[in-house]
Amino acid sequence: MTCSTPPQPFARFFLSAILSFPLCFTLSCSSDSDQGTDPRLTPSVFRFEQELDQAARKGPDSVARLRKSHPLFYKLLVEEMMGMGPADSNTTAYLLCQFQRDLYTDSLVRDIYEAFPADRDPLLYRALPNAIARFRKEFHTPTPTRITTFLSGFRYQAALDDSGELLIGLDTYLGRNYRYYATAHYIYEYQTRRMSRDYLLPDALRLLLQDQLSPPPSTASLLEEMIAAGKVHYAIQKLQPGIPDSSLFRYTSTQAAWAARHEKDVWKYLMGQNLVYASELRLKSRFLDDGPATLELDPEAPPRLGEWIGASMVGRYMKKHPEVTLPDLFQKKEIDIFKASGYRGERQSKL
């Protein structure tokens, strides 16, 4: 499973940081980018949180029947995500039913219904499926045929299961000031900033794009890892034009403004401290790992500034080489992109 999630015992991770997408635009569903999308490439949307809610109202036997109608996701949910017990156990079905009928959970489900109306939410039913269709058309690779939404207990945002189905924990996209986020002790304030619907679409695209990218080895330099991340950011914006920098990089608007204003200074710092070609994990993590800020630079400096600079490098490279397709870009060596970009700390107006 590939996911945007806190560390959990899964087969493979998208990012190690909790709620990182991972995965940023204020929806404008009538955009030109949605026109002409091939419906044969567009995934369907399945609202599992609603089906589970309806089953729980009828009792544990109805919940148990979900393991027959949706065996793969049911097993993933109860065994790996919620740790309730074996999927084939009636006791597990009873526990899941009790969890679902809890007053706290019940009110949370009602809030999800209000935030993402069934069959008519434009983000879930139009923008996201169309973006996935564009991804498939661009990369000529299999994509999820179904988007399954669910209640994750504030632990999982976007994920790909082993069959390639896209999973979306809608309860992690209810807005930074959602009333129940403060009750989850494992969520930090800086993480709730991006727990809103603006980040859902890029989170999903980031997952799909990560699967197309051969991750740099652990011995890779900071420069190589920055550009690898930059490839993904560049591709997200090309697949979904109009995404603001703040959402694309999972920043606040203030953080994005800081990064744009100080990009050249950050680049000078990396060069002056001989960090660009550093391969030690402890050095790379200072500019690639998530957190509230990059404190060694400035209390206001956003985290993951390496991703920001890497995206600038890729943007400059692609502007000089418009003939390069996105699949070709993902095959290019990072060091070659850097050399051909001519990057010296200058920010492009658009990626």
Q: What percent of the chain has pLDDT over 70?
A: 87
- Quote the number of domains for the chain: 2
Q: For 115-138, what is each residue's pLDDT tens digit?
A: 999 999 999 999 999 999 999 999
Among 160, 175, 210, give the residue marking a domain's end.
210
If DSSP states are collapsed to H, E and C, what string results for 252-306? CHHHHHHHHHHHHHHHHHHHHCCCCCCCCHHHHHHHHCCCCCCCCCCCCCCCCHH
pLDDT of 16 over the 80 cut: no
Taking 90 as the threshold, does the pLDDT of residue 348 lie above it?
A: no
Average of pLDDT values for 276-288? 95
Q: Do 69 and 155 fall within a single domain?
A: yes
Residue 42's pLDDT is 87
> Higher confidence at residue 256 or residue 214?
256
| 245 and 173 co-located in one domain | no
264 in the same domain as 158: no
Scored b (16 or more CB within 10 A) or e, 170-201 reads bbbbbeeebeebeeeeebeebbbbbbbbbbbb
Residues 257, 125, single domain; the answer is no
Residue 351 lies in a domain: no
> Are residues 256 and 161 part of one domain?
no
| 198 and 250 housed in the same domain | no
181 in the same domain as 140 = yes
Both 84 and 183 in a single domain? yes
pLDDT tens-digit map of 141-189: 988 999 999 999 998 999 988 888 999 999 999 999 999 999 999 999 9
Residues 74, 31 share a domain: yes
Is residue 26 predicted with pLDDT exceeding 50? no
Q: Which of 181, 210, 239 is the last residue of a domain?
A: 210
Q: Does any domain span residue 333? A: yes
Is residue 84 predicted with pLDDT exceeding 50? yes
- Pair (235, 126) in one structural domain: no
Mean pLDDT of the chain: 87
- Per-residue confidence band for 281, with pLDDT thresholds at 50, 70 and 90: very high
Last residue within a domain, chosen from 160, 190, 210: 210
Q: Could you tell me if 174 and 152 lie in one domain?
A: yes
170 and 81, same structural domain? yes
pTM comes to: 0.85
Domain range for residue 155? 2-210
Residue 215 lies in a domain: no
If one compares 228 and 40, the residue with the highest pLDDT of the two is: 228
What element of type H or E holds 146? strand 146-150
Rounded average pLDDT over 13-31: 29
